[in-house]
Structure 1
């Protein structure tokens, strides 16, 4: 059994994804922990087939689900790796992990992985979507889930972090091949974000990370989010989509990826702003 790290994976009806992920990591011989949200398909059976320790916990949002996982699984290794079920570890990243030795990382508390995101079979290469570095590996008991946001989830570690630029996590949610699934998911997400931003306007939430444009990837994202919250509602989606398509070269992506940029970078942002305005005025919004 791997003595350096263990995996935690969150699942909900992930039979379409889970085998793909587990096959990409099983030869690392690491302990696998799966926190399920009440799947009604074969997710749990697949997890157990690969020897995973499985718990079930009702889902509230991703940050709280990760918080539960980190606090309720008995991780014995010095490092924990948190993955989503729709991700895959590439051979290059597998090789890095296979050679990983805790003794070579003294003074390091977290490691960022490089992610490639796919939508309906197309790699989202431009528009600010690559490279994207995610803190996925951290010292057990030191890394924790940021509970200060409703939808976005991130792990936070105090101290020094490093970025692995080579080797990738491939992320593709095959359920999104059905565009109705994508719309329904983002309808839910828009409600979470709208309520979160109202809380921020009322000073009921504060950023957990110190915004820093020259800091680590999450500190830079925190800086950009702080800027985003200051932009005028209803106008900022136009700014963002234009910046993403022109200055971040989104127009160079293929047709499917450009459609993604429109949906995620414009349609979704406009929906969020519409719901924020509705909450401000006490009205109920429907798409």
Structure 2
């Protein structure tokens, strides 16, 4: 019997290394499965179909647009939907919360935040502001939507009341990132999108969908911090942010692997973004002078 309360959607691309464990972790929930793939060449599709998932294909542009396509394309008959990345596993504690979930117990709620444990090279990144970390992953069908004002840092938005589940976790571990070249190449691609997006924000061509509020929901707080970030001076802000994560948020307690992660994600990546922002601004200035 299919779960009458919620369905599960994933987006994938060559995820045979993650998909079996991710789908096995939710198999006992009986939820309808939907997978939007972007041209996988490994066994991703076979694994999805073996687990009874409905599979569709769409060319990948960025995460917000891919999620928008998934939510707009699949016919979801349940009142709720859960959106997971292929490397996000439902832990036993979260499984129990979902197993006993009943729509009638959440009539006034439109969205639910899950807590996340993030792993890098096999180590749980517990400090540096990475735990607890709440992600809006479950929301009412046709109420929640993908924020298309973001190019890389995707999130879902719901109007109205939300809940935060502090117990039970998503375990997020991208095993492909155990090879540092994969991590670096991925974040170099991401830096192109983040730099382009920030330049658009400087020009007023892009705005925040979520109202920034320091004391608001997890996403409203993130929006407030992003607005502060965009006002900070380039180049120095990456060092300030890394120092904040490493010292004030105790990132140094995550051990050698954690230090590597905080340095790469908190400093190196953001420094690269600032360099690319200046390159884009210089190119635009040169183009104007040539006209």
TM band (smaller chain):
over 0.9
1:168 matches 2:175 = no
1:15 matched to which residue of 2? 16
Counterpart-to-counterpart distance in 2, 1:212 and 1:226: 10
Q: What residue in structure 1 maps to residue 61 of structure 2?
A: 60
TM-score, length-normalised on structure 2? Answer: 0.97
SS class of match (2:204):
coil
TM-score, normalised by the number of residues in structure 1: 0.98
Point out where structure 1 has 5 or more consecutive residues left out of the alignment: none
- C-alpha distance in 2 between matches for 1:56 and 1:152: 22
Residue 180 of structure 1 corresponds to which residue in structure 2? 181
Paired residue total: 283
Q: Please give the root-mean-square deviation of Cα atoms over the aligned residues, in Å.
A: 0.6
1:282 Cα offset (Å):
1.1
Partner of 1:265: 266
Encode CA deviations 1:67-90: one digit per residue, 9 max, x unaligned: 000000000000000000001000
Query: Displacement of 1:106 after TM fit?
Result: 0.9
1:254 is displaced (CA, Å) by 1.2
Q: Give the alignment of 1:178-217 within 5 angstroms.
A: 178-217=179-218
Q: CA deviation at 1:95?
A: 0.2
- Tell me how far apart the structure 2 counterparts of residues 19 and 104 of structure 1 sit (CA, whole Å): 31
Contact 2:252 2:258 in 1 (8 A): no
Alignment of 1:153-164 (within 5 A): 153-164=154-165
1:111-260 equivalence runs, <5 A:
111-260=112-261
User: Counterpart of 1:218 in 2: which secondary structure?
Assistant: helix
CA offsets per residue over residues 167-207 of structure 1, 9 Å max, x none? 00000000001100000000000000000000000000000
Ranges in structure 2 where 5+ consecutive residues have no aligned partner? 285-291
- Mapped to 1, the partners of 2:253 and 2:17 lie a distance apart of 30
Distance in 1 (CA, whole Å) between partners of 2:270 and 2:125 is 18
CA distance in 2, matches of 1:115, 1:4: 22
Runs (4+) of structure 1 exceeding 4 A deviation are none
Match of residue 90 from structure 2: 89
Residue number in structure 1 paired with 2:288 = none
Q: Secondary structure at the match of 1:134?
A: strand
